[in-house]
């Protein structure tokens, strides 16, 4: 079988100084690294101006193949090609992530044209195929655990439904997702999928997942059943790789439309939660893509904004606020750790992360903060401003979701003078958060927001740029499907429930 040529780039743990790496395949299958760290690239390849000029002639899949080869991840070409066929299920196979102009020098990178209408599809659809190919090749059964604030779950379930050697358990915070998001999970009818509501918020679901992964009795019980455990959350490096590529695609797309000239800097604004999306942009920048500022946009849970402006990451005084942009309602933002590793090395990363675990807080030195701020800016948007941004974008002929609206607001606040030409990562289609979007554009009090189904119908009555608003078929269909997964559990009941399901299945 053909492998991509050149030296294989091993992945190393963010918390381990002995640079003993593992292969990409191992890192995907066993995503938690030594000493609780995350697998990360030892080195990144460099793109020069000619490479970027050449990218102009590549299709999206060809660009993916090119970047994978440069990263030297040692993947079988046919496995990668098969995974990349996932983009055939996107709206436009020639352009799975279109860039649109919203204002002068301000663009939107639409990452929501996949089957579940959020940016998670960009990585999770091909990732699911990769993982099941690896599992099949090894003749090993895997249980994939995933915790979701609403968008990862649907994308993971869609990606893994009916896949051989794979079973998936998906945990979501009960009441913490939109109706559309919940239905996208609970109506997924495949023998290898299990969806469980958790009493608690997303951080509770994520903690439950982490403790199951680390639970030796649970792992033993799985081993007895000849099942290995893996996770599909955004800490998995297999997802991050795909998230580098669309930022490069955005840059190249703007070159193609003469909106940007070669070498000109482009700033990227990313509505951020677990920091996976913007980490992809950070890696693209490290590889030499001419990125100006990397802007982290957050919602009322603005721990990331505080961290990037002050150098102090502090959860001691905080509790999670339920906001209009729930996919960013997170306090422990996992992928920050990879940036720490990149900027300050493994030893310091371990120190900082241990401090976070023990004291729920850590602080950078002033020189460390300066280094962080060489790359990142940050600002946050409260719920009121979020509504106003949705309405303002709508006036200009763009229907944006609340997460994208957070980015749009931050773009206005930081201003073109600071950012130059700028692209906002649009992370979800409006239809996933229709009650808030409808309230914003009809000036309805959000306490009287319509339910998802009615809000979608109401929005479809509007016209935008002279055309009726379209509802994506798969979203419309959700409301007539049966909810096959209805269980709501306490986290303490998970272990037993999952093992029971495995024995039944």
Ligand X SMILES: *Cc1c(COP(=O)(O)O)cnc(C)c1O
- The residue ranges that bind ligand X (CB under 6 A) are 118-120, 151, 234, 271-277, 327-328, 403, 427-428
Strands (DSSP E) found in 92-151? 99-103, 106-110, 141-147
The CA radius of gyration of the chain, in Å to the nearest whole number, is 21
Q: Smallest distance, Å, CB 386 to ligand X?
A: 12
Neighbours of 15 (CB within 10 A): 24
Burial class of residue 263 (count of CB atoms within 10 Å of its CB; 0-12, 13-18, 19+): exposed
Residue 280 makes CB contacts below 8 A (sequence gap 6+) with 240, 242, 243, 244, 245, 246, 247
Query: 16 or 274: whose CB is closer to ligand X?
Result: 274
Q: Smallest distance, Å, CB 8 to ligand X?
A: 27
With contact defined as beta carbons under 8 Å apart, do 122 and 246 qualify? yes
| Distances in whole angstroms, Cα of residue 248 to Cα of each of 60, 266, 279 | 10, 11, 13
Q: Smallest distance, Å, CB 104 to ligand X?
A: 25
Q: Smallest distance, Å, CB 496 to ligand X?
A: 30
With contact defined as beta carbons under 8 Å apart, do 113 and 422 qualify? no
**Strand 227-231 with 141-147, pairing:** parallel
Burial 382-391 (b: 16+ CB within 10 A, else e): bbebbbbbbb
Which residue, chain included where needed, has tokens 């997964």?
485
With contact defined as beta carbons under 8 Å apart, do 377 and 42 qualify? no
Q: Smallest distance, Å, CB 263 to ligand X?
A: 28
**Strand 361-363 with 312-314, pairing:** antiparallel
Q: Smallest distance, Å, CB 254 to ligand X?
A: 22
With contact defined as beta carbons under 8 Å apart, do 434 and 455 qualify? yes
- Alpha-carbon distance 406 to 385, whole Å? 8
Q: Smallest distance, Å, CB 299 to ligand X?
A: 9
Q: Smallest distance, Å, CB 272 to ligand X?
A: 4
Instruction: Looking at 161-275, list the stretches that DSSP marks H as alpha helix, in order from N- to C-terminal side.
Output: 179-186, 202-214, 216-224, 237-256
| Distances in whole angstroms, Cα of residue 450 to Cα of each of 179, 187, 236, 398, 401 | 11, 22, 36, 21, 16
Which residue, chain included where needed, has tokens 């309405």?
391
Q: Smallest distance, Å, CB 107 to ligand X?
A: 17
Query: 327 or 399: whose CB is closer to ligand X?
Result: 327
Burial class of residue 48 (count of CB atoms within 10 Å of its CB; 0-12, 13-18, 19+): exposed
Q: Smallest distance, Å, CB 120 to ligand X?
A: 6
Query: 13 or 335: whose CB is closer to ligand X?
Result: 335
| Distances in whole angstroms, Cα of residue 293 to Cα of each of 16, 281, 322, 440 | 29, 10, 28, 29
- Alpha-carbon distance 71 to 172, whole Å? 33
Query: 13 or 427: whose CB is closer to ligand X?
Result: 427
Q: Smallest distance, Å, CB 273 to ligand X?
A: 3
């Amino acid at each position: 079988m053909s492998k991509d040529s050149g030296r294989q780039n091993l992945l190393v743990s963010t918390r381990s100084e002995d640079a003993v790496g593992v292969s990409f395949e191992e890192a995907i299958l066993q995503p938690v690294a030594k000493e609780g760290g995350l697998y990360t690239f030892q080195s990144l390849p460099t793109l020069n101006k000619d490479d970027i000029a050449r990218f102009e002639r590549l299709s999206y899949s060809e660009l993916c193949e090119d970047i994978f080869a440069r990263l030297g991840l040692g993947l079988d070409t046919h496995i990668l090609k098969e995974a990349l066929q996932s983009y055939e299920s996107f709206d436009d196979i020639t352009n799975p992530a279109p860039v649109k102009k919203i204002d002068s020098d301000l663009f939107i990178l639409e990452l929501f044209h996949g089957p579940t209408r959020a940016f998670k599809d960009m990585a999770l659809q091909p990732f699911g195929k990769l993982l099941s190919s690896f599992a099949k090749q090894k003749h090993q059964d895997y249980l994939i655990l995933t915790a979701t604030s609403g968008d990862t779950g649907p994308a993971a379930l869609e990606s893994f439904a009916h896949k051989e050697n794979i079973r998936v358990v998906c945990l979501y915070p009960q009441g913490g997702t939109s109706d559309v998001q919940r239905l996208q999970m609970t109506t997924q009818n495949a023998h290898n999928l299990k969806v469980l509501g958790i009493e608690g918020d997303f951080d509770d679901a994520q903690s439950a997942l982490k403790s199951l992964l680390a639970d030796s009795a649970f792992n033993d019980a799985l081993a007895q059943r000849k099942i290995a455990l893996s996770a599909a959350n955004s800490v998995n490096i297999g997802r991050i790789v795909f998230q580098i590529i669309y930022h490069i695609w955005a840059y190249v797309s703007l070159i193609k439309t003469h909106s940007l000239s070669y070498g000109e800097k482009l700033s990227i604004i990313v509505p951020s939660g677990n920091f996976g999306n913007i980490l992809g942009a950070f890696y693209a920048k490290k590889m030499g893509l001419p990125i100006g500022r990397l802007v982290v946009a957050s919602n009322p849970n603005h721990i990331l904004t505080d961290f990037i402006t002050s150098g102090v990451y502090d959860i001691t005084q905080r509790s999670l606020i339920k906001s209009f942009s729930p996919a960013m309602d997170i306090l422990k933002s996992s992928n920050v750790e990879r940036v720490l590793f990149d900027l300050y090395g493994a030893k310091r990363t371990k120190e900082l992360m241990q401090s976070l675990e023990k004291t729920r807080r850590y602080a950078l030195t002033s020189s460390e903060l300066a280094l962080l701020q060489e790359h990142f800016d940050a600002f946050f948007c409260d719920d009121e401003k979020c509504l106003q941004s949705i309405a303002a974008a709508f006036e200009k002929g763009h229907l944006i979701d609340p997460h994208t609206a957070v980015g749009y607001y931050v773009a206005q606040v930081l201003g073109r003078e600071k950012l130059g030409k700028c692209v906002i990562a649009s992370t979800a289609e409006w239809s996933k958060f229709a009650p808030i979007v409808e309230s914003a554009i009809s000036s309805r009090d959000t306490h009287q927001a319509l339910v998802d189904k009615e809000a979608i119908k109401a929005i479809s009555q509007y016209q935008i740029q002279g055309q009726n608003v379209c509802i994506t078929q798969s979203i419309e269909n959700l409301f007539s499907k049966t909810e096959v997964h209805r269980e709501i559990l306490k986290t303490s009941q998970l272990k037993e429930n999952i093992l029971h399901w495995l024995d039944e299945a």
